[in-house]
Amino acid sequence: MLMYDLLVVGAGPYGLSIASHAADAGLDVRVFGRPMASWRDHMPRGMFLKSEPWASNLSDPRRRYGLAEYCARNGMRARHGEPISVATFASYGLWFAQHAVPDVDERMVASVGACPGGFEVVTEDGQTIRGRTVALAVGVIPFVEIPSALHGLGKDHVSHSSHHRDLGRFRDKDVTVIGGGQAALETAALLAEQGTRVRVLARSHQLNWNSVPPAWKRPWRESARAPHSGLGCGWRNWFYAEVPGGFRRLPEATRARISATALGPAGAWWVRDRVESRVEVLLGHEVATASVARGRVRLQAVGNASGGPEFETDHVIAATGFKATSARLGLLAPELRGSLAVNAADEPYASVEFESSYPGLFLAGLVTASSFGPAMRFVHGASFTAGRLVRGVRRSLRRGPVGPAVPEPVGAPGRRTPMGAVKR
């Protein structure tokens, strides 16, 4: 059976960028997945990118296929301080795939397992393809996080914000959005603007709003105090955005804390008026219990130190983010998934070249945020990831084939290897 050098699972910004770098390096690469599926299928029409256009480029080694180039070719502009629509960004990703990436196999991958000399990928229609290495670039959809109080209500009554391409089904309904970040606030704004009665329920005692970004060209003193970066202004954001390799050198506990707390929930400056003028906001509360009665959801909210309102709503949208744990990498065969070294939060280990603790299995995107920092939660992190990961793949190929045996865990039998036990 033909054996590829690299199989890339996922065709979003990270997967396409990795494939572009791999092809340029002369590797025999095959990419699986519907290009830009998360952006095309899981974000409502009318949404905009929160990141700056110049921080939203997919990565090709020769830097010929950036977002600004796509916009210029299509009579649009990509300017600092002017949000780009999700629809435009998705179209840009498709253009990038056509010009910078080998042909994409649009079938979804059902499973990834080990085989002699590497790995085998099984597609949704049952075909098996083998590769010496694999890069998992599965995006965020496998990692949706929904509050436990809402579990068991069923998809007719509760959903995640990433489950919706079209919010039209909620027109003239009553919807409660859980969360205080950009996804929650922009979803609420879009719902209100189409005639939905909508409220936002957030644990925080105030909503945080990003300010209008300063001009790209500023006096040098202002730039020195707070430089621009792919994650916003300021030296801390600059470090997270531009030096992921340095972030990885921080102690594991520090990395875990920062990846969980940095760049917390906040709304973009351009959505603030749309929320404050039209959306009911309940702050300092979270859902304590939820049940279905007469076709509607009954929510009991609770504050930090007291009870809260009880009310009914037609549907709950949880805009509560994503948690990238190894347990949610369901397409990995159990013996492969169970062999991964993880930290205390069950987040997989990634080496300096994005290789997992299983030789030849590489990770990209959100699942590497605990190793490389907050940039991995955004498109901006794809540029750093793609080049370094492909270097790791080439190094792995030079090592020669690996068998299907998995590494022995360190510690008690049946326990996964802690991150600190891995030295590479």
Total structural domains within the chain:
2
246 within some domain: no
Instruction: Calculate mean pLDDT across residues 12-33.
Output: 98
3-state secondary structure of 352: coil
pLDDT tens track for 59-106: 999 999 999 999 999 999 999 999 999 999 999 999 999 999 999 999
pTM: 0.92
pLDDT tens track for 375-406: 999 999 999 999 999 999 999 999 877 644 33
232 within some domain: no
Q: Looking at the structure, do residues 203 and 308 belong to the same domain, yes or no?
A: yes
Q: Looking at the structure, do residues 306 and 357 belong to the same domain, yes or no?
A: no
Angle between helices 13-24 and 86-100 (to 10 degrees): 20
Task: Give residue 182's domain range.
Answer: 148-209+266-318
3-state secondary structure of 166: coil
216 within some domain: no
Q: Looking at the structure, do residues 367 and 304 belong to the same domain, yes or no?
A: no
Does residue 160 have a pLDDT over 80? yes
3-state secondary structure of 389: helix
Examine the fold and report which residue of 284, 299, 318 is the final residue of a domain before the chain moves on: 318
pLDDT value at residue 62: 95
List Cβ<8 Å contacts ≥24 apart for 253-259. 255/370, 255/371, 255/373, 256/343, 256/344, 256/345, 256/347, 256/370, 258/373, 258/374, 259/369, 259/370, 259/373, 259/374
HEC sequence for 17-41: HHHHHHHHCCCCEEEECCCCHHHHH
CATH number of the domain residue 397 falls in: 3.50.50.60
Q: Looking at the structure, do residues 313 and 332 belong to the same domain, yes or no?
A: no
* Residues contacting residue 225 through CB under 8 Å, at least 6 positions apart: none
Q: Looking at the structure, do residues 37 and 131 belong to the same domain, yes or no?
A: yes
What kind and span of H or E run contains 158? strand 158-160
Q: Looking at the structure, do residues 119 and 185 belong to the same domain, yes or no?
A: no
d(CA 56, CA 413): 44
pLDDT value at residue 306: 64
303 pLDDT band, cuts 50/70/90, is: confident
pLDDT value at residue 419: 47
Does residue 304 have a pLDDT over 90? no
Q: Are 353 and 395 in contact (CB under 8 A)?
A: yes
pLDDT tens track for 177-234: 999 999 999 999 999 999 999 999 999 999 999 999 999 999 999 999 999 999 999 9
Q: Are 380 and 231 in contact (CB under 8 A)?
A: yes
